Chain A
Amino acid sequence: MKKDMKILVVDDFSTMRRIIKNLLRDLGFTNIDEADDGSTGLPKLQNGNFDFLVTDWNMPGMTGIELLKAVRADENLSSLPVLMVTAESKREQIIEAAQAGVNGYIVKPFTAATLKEKIDKIFERIEATAE
């Protein structure tokens, strides 16, 4: 996992974006951009060479699950690792995100340790399959 990888954080609440950005910075990631929903996030992803997407689910405009599906359907983005960080906590929703190809799922409220653990796990898996 490269510390200089480019990360997009998508959440409609700017306070939550700040929290996630600060936590990522604490983990050593500094190349972070943000968007307030899927419809502003997707063009950034399409034009920006991002290595990792962290997204909320419930957002006005384009939701996180729609963004995830759009990412998986886009041939240039289809293998982008996606971590969902959301208050959506229904089993059906978690299953749906899994089926849509999410790489990790964190329910809010969450801790700094959980974020680190999930990010480590996502990149361990990716590195393991790449070998």
Chain B
Amino acid sequence: MTAVISNNNEALLGCAENLVDRIEEGNETEITRIISQLGEIQEKAMFQEIGKITRKLHDALGGGSTDSRMISIAQSDIPDAKMRLNHVISMTEESANKTLTAIEAALPVSDLLHENSEKLYAKWQKFRSKDMSFDEFRSMSGEIDTFLGETCGQAKTINSKLTDVMMAQDFQDLTGQIIRRVISLVQEVEENLVDMIKSPIDSSEPVNDKKADADKLQAGMGPAVPNVAEAGVAVSGQDEVDDLLSSLGF
């Protein structure tokens, strides 16, 4: 642990010196970057410490046995979970923006449609009550012509924007799957802690990673999350799926 701390202190010292220089220069982007780097160093050390404390606790209770699963939770699953939740934030943000963009595009079109139909309706009423000159009628029939032509395009635009709004709601499924995985991790941590207290003697079986990976793939692992490594190689999108399937004779 002393080694970790002294490594850490060196890294922190380096960052701090760098930070002072940048503050003197007034370089704001660098300042922000270094501050977040400082945070990361602290975080990494914290996760290592959690791993070690867990191990110590377990050793103290179980007399020399270690729980490799808890250490891997602390060292990789928890940081992964953080990345997953960050991805959820960006997905919900993206969906909200997509929805708002589509609505902002559709509203003026529906306003125009309303305005034009209202004007035309007033004229039509005038015509129906036989209160219209021939010249007025001629000009109205031209307007009707334009209106009908424009309405087709406008209705199509509104339809396509509404479809965009609908498709943007897919985030609920995708983020839901990601959040479910984080919940199951939290549950696993809880169960592990409870087990640790209940049965100090380590009865955990060594995990067969290959088998566990195959099981995970079978059950489904939810959407791929950027920068989170897990079993299997993810395709980058529909084009790659199509290529893969066509290579299999589809």
- Give A residues with C-beta under 8 Å from B: 11, 13, 15-16, 18-19, 22-23, 26, 57-59, 63-65, 86-96, 98, 105-112, 114
Residues of chain B at interface, number, CB under 8 A: 30
User: Smallest Cβ distance from A81 to chain B, in angstroms?
Assistant: 13
Give 12 CB contacts A-B under 8 Å.
A63-B219, A87-B174, A90-B232, A90-B235, A91-B244, A92-B217, A95-B244, A96-B217, A105-B241, A107-B237, A109-B167, A112-B167
Contact B167 A91 (CB under 8 A): no
Is B14 on the interface with A (CB-CB < 8 A)?
no
Contact with A along B21-62 (1 / 0, CB 8 A): 000000000000000000000000000000000000000000
Measured in the bound complex, the distance between the Cα atoms of B83 and A67 in whole Å is 31
Contacts A23-B166, A92-B217 supplied; 15 other A-B pairs, CB < 8 Å: A16-B170, A18-B169, A19-B167, A57-B220, A58-B177, A87-B174, A89-B223, A89-B234, A90-B232, A90-B234, A93-B220, A94-B245, A95-B244, A98-B250, A108-B223
**Total A-B pairs, Cβ < 8 A:** 98
Is B222 on the interface with A (CB-CB < 8 A)?
yes
- A residues less than 8 Å from B2 (CB atoms): none
Is B224 on the interface with A (CB-CB < 8 A)?
yes
Measured in the bound complex, the distance between the Cα atoms of B178 and A88 in whole Å is 12
With A87-B223, A92-B232, A108-B223 known to touch, is A15 a contact of B241 (CB < 8 Å)? no
Considering only CB atoms, which chain B residue lies closest to A11 in the complex?
A: B173
Is B248 on the interface with A (CB-CB < 8 A)?
yes
With A16-B173, A91-B244, A95-B248 known to touch, is A58 a contact of B167 (CB < 8 Å)? no
User: Smallest Cβ distance from A111 to chain B, in angstroms?
Assistant: 7
Contact B245 A105 (CB under 8 A): yes
Contact B232 A86 (CB under 8 A): no
- A residues less than 8 Å from B166 (CB atoms): 19, 22-23
